[in-house]
Structure 1
């Protein structure tokens, strides 16, 4: 199965489905992007010079696209206060 992930974080989908052929992931935060690069090595669209062309080239080939929750940035910056 060929797969991709959005809001990829540090690769939960990749860990859960190692038998998939991961074509790309979409992550904009630096730390998770570095983790993805070192653990999995597949292209991260945020670091790609032409992310839309990467999607267009693989769109017809993807069997499944997985997505994480895109709220982690706020959670990581939170100081534990109710209104953060």
Structure 2
């Protein structure tokens, strides 16, 4: 089952996801910095995506210099939310 479906079925889980989204993003930002060797300051302090965008499989951000970063962020967010 997809995380999005879990959140739809459980309003309390959706509230929790919204509450921890920023914390998970910060963890993902740090992990991405470690994995890429780029300084933490290379990445936006706040998530450039909303919780809804991060759950939307059809959402595709513009391809730019943050592509690798975004892939790592989304993967980390999904792992953190499990």
**TM-score, with normalisation over the residues of structure 1?**
0.31
Larger Rg: 1
Alignment TM-score, normalising by the size of structure 2: 0.31
Structure with more relative contact order (C-alpha pairs < 8 Å, separation 6 or more): 2
